[in-house]
Chain A
């Protein structure tokens, strides 16, 4: 008679990667210059920034770099006197590049391994938003073999195939208890997908260099991801799924960049990124027990404006600085605690050291300050104020041959 059909609804958070999870740390020199570099033929990281500029690099070389992201987010629930903080967990996205082929020839080869999307957000297990998320770890590593052709002495084109390796691990509480223990779920999955990255690099007669690039969208498809529940009451256990399928769009990015050379030792870079987030309309999870959750996201496209300057102070020392302003793709009512995104200011600085003609070491430091944002999430009902800052130091070693 009163048969209760218990359906299982996870208030699935985004696990999309918002601006805050679009990692823009693909080269230490560029990071130190506000993340700009599409209009320059600066170094091996051109494989990522502009494959068209690879054929304009003066030397072959390899480089490998790593960053540490100290992400500090505060949350104050609406009406509460308590400010909660995320836990310290430092993701370390890395990037490595190599350029081959004869610098005299028009055709050059490159390969890059980098992390354009990723993040780690860990909250305390008993925080007030625990039913939306307690921990999120995600990573998309792109492997990109690249060809670059110098069509004329002024124009280069290049492109690469992207093989994307995605990994996600999302944890949250579910509203059941068993013997006083809070029930939790961990959703874990992998994705392997393809995409591409292409660019044009032009040296104009006026001396200004221009770059145009497009990195394609990658649809990260998780098949048979694990849904692992713990501390679930035994009566509820049969109703829960064990696996899920989901597709997460990692959006395309188009960029126009300019390089200015006021003197032989000084380079100025200006970039505008356009990130095609509008494809992220909803996030759908399909569970193996027939249930599904479809969450509206309704992201909109977002731009980032970047400016950086490099000054070669001596044969040993190069100084860099930059700034950027990134617009959030997340509309009002869609901010979530694993991606507490907002418009942000970025300030960066760095130094490059050249102990020898071939060997280089570059340091960067990036500071990000996100505007505080007070909202009620349309789906989860979580209401409060988020404020985030991030401190991101990094280092790269390079060797030219």
Chain B
């Protein structure tokens, strides 16, 4: 029948046409809003540099959050973005930690020491191969906010020294002056973590945190400089230190469980610690132990016949413990610093990425794009093997939080990073 032929042909044509008929979703048009992303500079510490697994390596630098943001900014007028990469033949940079085995769930973590960029050492400062090109990512591990305007700081920090021209000890340029030497149109500033972090990770046994008043003065000075040319920017608040894997992997419970599992320690009920102030005492759940205590293998080892940590006469040293009084001090400083950061940023009308809330939220456990993320050591996907710095996935989550803060403040439409492209901890 002719009609049959007609209908069959019509159907065949219709089927052919189907491949083209895709649904569409309206996406926001690219817009820089009221900001200008032509030259973006990133100031900050290890978190800005891409530090991970206890070190700074080329891979870490390539997964820094400012690098991710800059790549996304290109859709809305962002310019080129340079990171002071380690050369490929010295890709392991400072060296870093590697997970080499997981035996019945117990990790073996060893340092990677080959192909580092170490060029020498002077006055106790490790020096690294100099970088001479353009820089947009000024992240320098270990730098405190309090260091930003100190002349000669490079003499104390080899990872800053490697960025400066001249031999060691000859360049007094302050960090803030160096980062702002060339004109910029947009900035991110995530300084401030180390002003409290170093105090906390040393079990409050080392140098005191930066004074709150000094912190406010310095923060004001840094932001005044960064906004002095009319540039817009974003700042980050300081993440909670006590919610990191560094303080939540070795706990009173895990120590007791390990001790109780040994024949001699089966009846042990208390672990004794040396708090920052006062006599040695039994630890409580409110006292936090540092991650290095786990690998130090000290617990129960006798000194002068007295087992370490199991007797008030040989308590766990203060450097491995952030006791509950010290936890309060650390949290009080973070709270004060963050209030300073927010009030200064608000006064200047710049965007705020609330790193404190963000990392607490993910550390508590949350799925993103189907990936389970939590503060748990190794399997949490958020913290790298040092328990404090982030994995590439953690940095991607942070990059998106910065992007959201920028877009919300300036009406721009920087597209978010596809976080599913970034890894958590690398397993052997």
Contacts and interface: CB of A to CB of B under 8 A. Distances in A.
Interface string A44-84: 00000000000000000000000010101111111111110
A316 B7 CA distance: 13
Tell me whether chain A's interface is mostly helix, strand or loop, or mixed.
loop
Interface in B346-381: 366-372, 377-379, 381
A19 interface: no
Contacts of A385: 25
A3 B371 contact: no
Contact of A129 (B23, B105, B369): B369
A393 B428 CA distance: 50
A192 B377 CA distance: 42
Contacts of A239: 105
B417 to A, nearest CB: 9
A317 interface: yes
A387 B18 contact: no
A235 B102 contact: yes
Given A76-B27, A177-B423, A317-B3, A88 B19 contact: yes
Contacts of A381: 366-371
B428 A1 contact: no
Contacts of B293: 1
A68 B11 CA distance: 12
A361 to B, nearest CB: 8
B426 A177 contact: yes
A3 B416 CA distance: 36
B377 A4 contact: yes
A6 B102 contact: yes
B24 A74 contact: yes
Contacts of B228: none
Interface in A1-46: 1-7, 9, 11, 13
B21 A389 contact: yes
Interface in A84-143: 85, 88, 126-133
A4 B105 contact: yes
B67 interface: no
Contacts of A389: 21, 23
B377 A2 contact: yes
A76 to B, nearest CB: 4
Contact size range, B: 35 or more
B416 A77 contact: yes
A385 B106 CA distance: 41
B15 A1 contact: no
B14 interface: yes
A353 interface: yes
Contacts of A129: 369-370, 420
B400 interface: yes
A261 interface: no
The winner among B102, B104, B107 for most chain A CB atoms within 10 A is B102
B255 interface: yes
Interface of B: 1, 3-4, 7, 11, 14-15, 18-19, 21-25, 27-28, 30, 75, 99, 101-102, 104-107, 249-250, 254-255, 258, 291, 293-295, 297, 299, 366-372, 377-379, 381, 393, 400, 403-404, 407, 413, 415-416, 418-421, 423-424, 426-428
Interface of A: 1-7, 9, 11, 13, 68, 70, 72-83, 85, 88, 126-133, 172-173, 175-178, 233-236, 239, 316-317, 351, 353, 355, 361, 363, 365, 372, 379-382, 385, 387-389, 391, 393, 395
> 7 tightest A-B contacts by CB?
A131-B370, A132-B370, A2-B294, A79-B416, A233-B427, A81-B415, A235-B102
13 contacts: A1-B294, A2-B250, A11-B371, A70-B19, A74-B23, A74-B24, A75-B25, A317-B3, A379-B367, A380-B367, A387-B23, A393-B14, A395-B11
